[in-house]
Chains A and B, each alone.
Chain A
């Protein structure tokens, strides 16, 4: 076996139908070309899944992958990547998780794990270093995700790191999420539904092995230096107290806060659901992930008329979709709705957008009290919780909503697709973009659907002069479009689509770099000290670009007729002016987005249907895909 420094060196393939577990060496060429994490997920799914695979069938795979920096003693090294053929989109699906699971998997000796098949009864995979068991746990059926984790910890031991799914995952809700550490989630793309389809309620891991390191003393010294640098950054002191929730006021001030199912981009009540409200009314303690110097988790206690709960969060995305889009006007209500999602195992982003879609459908008379089982309205925590419970159990209208807004709009008809806020079947996360063309393009072209974490070009949009953005907006209503500005919106989006997902391939948190200004040069140094392989940041970005072309090709392989038409937002965001707030009256016409897309495809080396050309694939060593 070739020693892969930085890696555990082995991987685990579990067929839960037959109970067969195979341990194999991690291929050096896979590590060389794809680094780990997201790169491993993308390549393994591409190679392992045939066209026509049913996302909820036995042949779909759940890939759980760490990166070369996961589990090492340096800031933010607790990340794990999950992937599957997504039941939400029918295409490439992945999601990233903080906490402690990835390091534990690596300490047990595995860089990644592939789960295939379907267990005959509800079970958990229990990994204790070299011992791997599939244990039936039918008594966990219907248990909340957090409740199940607590119960498994009590049975197996506190030193196990555990991922679980809730009732929503068991019932194959396409936006169900994987839960871990009592409030961290791999939320997007419905990978928990794939686990549910395999009858896997949980995976528990305990690992006590070491990971080979090329230069242990150097890596330790560098890790210590990285902490000191983090602590010295001016943004350090302001980041931790509020975490991502500090974005709430800003998002309203610049008019990007999704409100009332994205009718508006401004919520008058935003001061009641901001980071300060969390500190004043909820906070019990800060909570961080493995090796994190900048803990963004806020663990708090919420008391509401519907119920009381301890909950981690809400972080910004949950505030935006539950608070803004569903119009829950107090931080306690947002936190309680967050808690309900966490227990049921629903992604708060999609769940908030699906609920707000249903609320608007009801308001417009598209669905009735008879359809829903009661009257529902924006701003009612009771109604939002009612919808979540219906969805998680697939009861009544919940069975339709459990398939996401794209599907529900198809069932409800009456032009409700106009305001079903999604791209490629994945619900939109927390940024309304009718005044932000770069961010809009980011959502349109993200490989998994409307997700912000591939490219957060919003800062670029907002930092441009008002005149520049205004020119673009007015062009949307009156004519020719000066889209290829020297500043290069498209270039910026492409650049971010390489840099942000690169952290997911390395197995490291991006927030230290993106939010407090930690220099990427540190990762070049520590990567070399850990692996013995010298790679510059631009060379790593090239690997990230390879992964981007591969996931696009994955979508072309698995989605019938995939192409340009899959890259547009819903008509509301191209036709309806924003109703209130600083961007009132603004929207981006389809023609603008069409031009942005053409420029994007050209710069990507894709044809005008959005498919990578043979030359592009060859350039990245993907000629055989």
Chain B
């Protein structure tokens, strides 16, 4: 079975909080996993991810990633 290539884009505070990750990071999955699991593998606290989108579509963190895609991780804003 060939791997699932998932591209992950970090925004806002996530770039600052996880400097070991590039703004755009790719990961090969050997089998489908949830967004929660993916975040854990990248070392990102799911509590610091406010929203997850694929393109313009909002998805939940429990969503199973079962095909190649580009995920956008949006951090909470820091007030006005």
Contact = CB atoms under 8 A, between A and B. Distances in A.
Interface of A: 233-235, 237-239, 243-244, 246-247, 250-251, 253-254, 296, 315-317, 429-431, 452-453, 456, 458-460, 462-465, 511, 514-517
A459 B78 contact: yes
A459 B75 contact: yes
A462 B49 CA distance: 10
Q: Which 5 residue pairs spanning A and B have beta carbons closest together? A: A235-B11, A234-B72, A456-B78, A234-B9, A315-B80
Contact of B12 (A235, A452, A463): A235
Interface in B59-80: 72, 74-80
Contacts of B13: 456, 459, 514-515
A514 B47 contact: no
Contacts of B11: 233-235, 515-517
B47 A253 contact: yes
A238 B72 CA distance: 10
B37 interface: no
Interface in B40-63: 44-45, 47-48, 50-51, 53, 56
B78 A514 contact: yes
Contacts of A243: 77, 80
B47 A453 contact: no
B23 interface: yes
B17 interface: yes
B69 to A, nearest CB: 13
Contacts of A430: 79
A617 B23 CA distance: 37
A456 B13 CA distance: 10
B45 A462 contact: yes
B80 A317 contact: yes
Contacts of B12: 235, 514-517
A516 B23 CA distance: 11
B10 interface: yes
B15 interface: yes
Contacts of B23: 517
Given A244-B79, A253-B47, A430-B79, 19 more contacts: A244-B78, A246-B50, A246-B51, A246-B76, A250-B76, A315-B79, A452-B79, A458-B78, A459-B13, A459-B16, A459-B75, A459-B76, A460-B17, A462-B47, A463-B47, A511-B77, A515-B12, A515-B75, A517-B15
A234 B53 contact: yes
Given A233-B11, A235-B12, A517-B23, A452 B78 contact: yes
- Residue of B11, B72, B76 most packed against chain A (CB within 10 A): B76
A10 B59 CA distance: 52
A453 B48 contact: no
A296 B12 CA distance: 15
B47 A515 contact: no
B78 A462 contact: no
Contact of A244 (B16, B72, B80): B80
B72 A235 contact: yes
Contacts of A237: 53, 56
B80 A316 contact: yes
A64 B58 CA distance: 42
A576 B77 CA distance: 28
A315 B79 CA distance: 8
A239 B17 contact: no
B79 A316 contact: yes
A296 B72 contact: no
B80 to A, nearest CB: 4
A105 B14 CA distance: 36
A237 B45 CA distance: 22
Contacts of B14: 517
B49 to A, nearest CB: 9
A178 to B, nearest CB: 15
Given A238-B74, A459-B13, A317 B47 contact: no
A19 B54 CA distance: 60
Q: Which of A429, A456, A517 has the most CB of B within 10 A?
A: A517
B79 A429 contact: yes
A247 B79 contact: yes
Given A459-B13, A460-B17, A516-B11, A238 B53 contact: yes
B51 A238 contact: yes
Contacts of A456: 13, 78-79
